[in-house]
Amino acid sequence: MTEAVPFIRPEVATFLTAFNARPRPPMNDEGIRMMRQIPPELMAQMMQEIELPLGPLAVDRALVIPGPGGDLPARLFDARAEREPSPVVLFFHGGGFVTGSVATHAPLAAEIARALDLPVVSVEYRLAPEHKWPAAPDDAEAAARWIAANGAALGREVDGLVLSGDSAGGTLALVTGLALRDRPAACPARLLLAIYPMADASRHYPSQQQFADGYGLSSPDMAYYTSAYAPDPHSPRHSALVADLTGLPPVVVATASLDPLRDGGRALVGALAQAGVPVAFHEAHGSIHGYATYRRGIPSAGADLAAVLGLARAMLEPGAAA
């Protein structure tokens, strides 16, 4: 029996044709060394071909957070100059634990700040191959604990955390949520927001083969990310799905129907529901991994992101997860 051709939005097909035709450095140690020579601000400018501008904000300022391996640069985004006590969103950028930065993902972090009407702190964490696992989750947990206890440094009174991220950053949001469940921070985690995360590296899922090549996140790139980062695929500090999920705060999971990571995300949603964790789910039908940072290149991705953030906003309403 011939497998049905998956639906792909026409604008996504056009985007992928241009994406696959564009030359880029090889995803290997030498290619990463070349990429590290490009200033993050220049990388962010290059992203403007496919991503929307930063947009209006009342606050956009640099921070420094102490981390276990040294200071972690961070950036505070807020649509309001002043606010009452509120949760703070901690955002971890994507990039396979190898690439990406606060600068490249600034438009996404700013949009989260506006859509949730909450301050967002986007944090740099140590990247592979220079820093292997578990450097990234160590940094993510340390940043979450510091923000929970240091609202004065933000000029904000923090009464909770929203742990969020896209791709690798979504994975960090999940594993940090598990860490804070087991050893609470100075204020509670109120929501986990995981946008197309790697939820389970402990087993192979059909979507990894179905969308291995031609859909933006290629199998050679994924293999390099794994070898560079060198995680333990069976550890809950990398594969959240292998953990006992009971007792987590509410979770919003976003996937894309043409994403190699799709099936792991779907499995996570089912496991969260079975564990009694309030969970909301959005799948971008006919779209690809990375869509939340491709809003200029794929205009309909803006509506997908709005839907995901609408779910997050609803889950944060008092009594929503009761």
- Residues with catalytic function: 167
- Rounded to whole angstroms, the Cα distance separating 173 from 80 reads 24
Q: What are phi and psi of 81, to 5 degrees?
A: -70, -35
Q: Give buried/exposed letters for 169-199 (b at 16+ CB in 10 A, else e).
A: bbbbbbbbbbbbbeeebebebbbbbbbbbbb
Rounded CA-CA distance 14/95 in Å is 23
